[in-house]
Amino acid sequence: MERDAIGPPLSTLAAVAREILACERCPRLRAHCRRVAREKKREFEDWDYWGKPVPGWGDPQAGLLVVGLAPAAHGGNRTGRIFTGDSSGDWLYAALHRFGFANQPQSIHRHDGLRLRDCYITAAARCAPPGNKPTPRELANCRPYLEAETRLLTRVRVVVTLGRIAHESWLKAAGWWAALPPRMRPRFAHGAVARLPDGRTLISSYHPSRQNTNTGKLTRPMWNAVFRKARRLLGTTF
Helix or strand holding residue 194 (H, E):
strand 193-195
Other Cβ atoms closer than 10 A to 1: 5
CATH architecture of 13-234: 3-Layer(aba) Sandwich (3.40)
Mean pLDDT of 49-75: 98
Helices (H), the chain: 13-21, 27-39, 76-79, 87-98, 136-152, 164-173, 176-179, 210-213, 220-234
CA-closest candidate to residue 10, choices 145, 175, 138:
145
Q: What sign results for the dihedral spanned by CA atoms 69, 148, 202, 90?
A: negative
Domain coordinates of the chain in residue numbers? 13-234
Give the CA-trace dihedral at 228, 230, 234, 238, to 10 degrees.
-40
Question: What per-residue confidence (pLDDT) applies to 7?
Answer: 62
Predicted confidence (pLDDT) per residue in 88-114, tens digit = 999 999 999 999 999 999 999 999 999
Predicted confidence (pLDDT) per residue in 137-154, tens digit = 999 999 999 999 999 999
Question: What per-residue confidence (pLDDT) applies to 59?
Answer: 98
Predicted confidence (pLDDT) per residue in 180-235, tens digit = 999 999 999 999 999 999 999 999 999 999 999 999 999 999 999 999 999 999 98
Q: Mean pLDDT over all residues of the chain?
A: 95
